[in-house]
């Protein structure tokens, strides 16, 4: 997609959502994503599958290899942000799901999950401040490996709307990625997280319709561009 067209479309859609949905940056998973407990309860199995994928990390595509329009946050510093994608906007990647049976079983029980990826953040990687495109989905973070600083504190920090979040292994967070956010991995180790995009509950009807149109447009764009998910 033309980058200017992408930016203008993203900003227009985001502005519309901002006028119709007013919720905080961090949300209660008990209401918005009850299946969170299922994923957290199996986090160690999920971690084992992610560690197996890491054995051949060079085969996992970088985010900007999949979506060139994200190069400003993925290729900004020459350090890798790699994504092992099992589901993307409702489209399953059968080969990748087959490699992760524990995650795949959880996805079968959680149809509200729109996208599912293992995120591998390279040592020293900084994802600069940015905002997601629309509020029809929420982001669920489940931390699988967290490097530690010499003082024992977490070495990779997620900042959302100016507030730092320090997630330990097995910790989770449900949040709205249309709020400004950035990430630093201030360590010499890869940080691994399971990232889920979850369909937002309780949207106004017009926003529900718009969200489904946006998701359909993204799927069409992926097919048009012949996106390859590697793995």
pLDDT digits (tens, 9 = 90+) for 88-131: 988 899 999 999 999 999 999 999 999 999 999 999 999 999 98
* 3-class SS of residue 52: helix
Q: How confident is the model at residue 219 (pLDDT cuts 50, 70, 90)?
A: low
Give pLDDT, residue 67. Answer: 82
**Which CATH homologous superfamily contains domain 3-225?**
B-lactam Antibiotic, Isopenicillin N Synthase; Chain (2.60.120.330)
Q: How far from 23 is each of 142, 192, 195, CA to CA, in Å?
A: 21, 28, 20
pLDDT digits (tens, 9 = 90+) for 129-146: 998 878 889 999 999 999
HSE, side-chain direction, 13 A CA sphere, residue 189: 13
Strand order in the sheet with 91-92: 91-92, 81-88, 113-121, 191-199, 137-145, 172-175
* Tokens encoding 160: 């959302």
**Per-domain residue ranges of the chain:** 3-225
* Distance, CA of 203 to CA of 184 (rounded, Å): 32
| End-to-end CA, the chain | 23
Give pLDDT, residue 214. Answer: 76
- The three-state DSSP-derived secondary structure of 158-187 is EEECCEEECCCCCCEEEECCCCCEEEEECC
pLDDT digits (tens, 9 = 90+) for 170-214: 999 999 999 999 999 999 999 999 999 999 988 777 778 877 787
- List, in order, residues 6 or more apart from 204 with CB less than 8 Å away: 20, 21
pLDDT digits (tens, 9 = 90+) for 13-67: 777 777 677 899 999 999 999 999 999 999 999 999 999 999 999 999 999 888 8
Closest CA to 178 of 24, 3, 54: 24
**DSSP label at 133?**
S
């Amino acid at each position: 997609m033309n980058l200017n067209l992408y930016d203008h479309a993203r900003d227009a859609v985001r502005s519309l959502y901002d006028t119709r949905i007013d919720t905080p940056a961090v949300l209660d998973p008990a209401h918005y994503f009850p299946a969170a407990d299922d994923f957290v309860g199996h986090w160690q199995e999920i971690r084992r599958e992610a560690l197996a994928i890491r054995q051949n990390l060079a085969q996992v595509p970088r985010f900007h290899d999949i979506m060139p329009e994200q190069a400003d946050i993925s290729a900004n510093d020459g350090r890798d942000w790699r994504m092992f994608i099992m589901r993307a906007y409702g489209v399953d990647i059968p080969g990748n799901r087959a490699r992760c049976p524990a995650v795949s079983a959880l996805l079968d029980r959680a149809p509200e999950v729109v996208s599912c990826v293992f995120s591998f953040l390279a040592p020293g990687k900084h994802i600069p401040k940015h905002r997601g495109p629309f509020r029809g989905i929420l982001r669920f973070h489940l931390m699988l490996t967290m490097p530690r600083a010499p003082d024992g504190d977490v070495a990779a920090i997620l900042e959302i709307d100016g507030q730092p979040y320090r997630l330990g292994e097995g910790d989770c967070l449900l949040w709205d990625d249309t709020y400004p956010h950035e990430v630093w991995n201030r360590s010499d180790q890869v940080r691994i997280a399971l990232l889920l995009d979850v369909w937002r509950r309780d949207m106004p009807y017009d926003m529900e319709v718009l969200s489904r149109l946006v998701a359909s447009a993204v799927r069409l764009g992926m097919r048009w561009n012949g996106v390859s998910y590697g793995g």
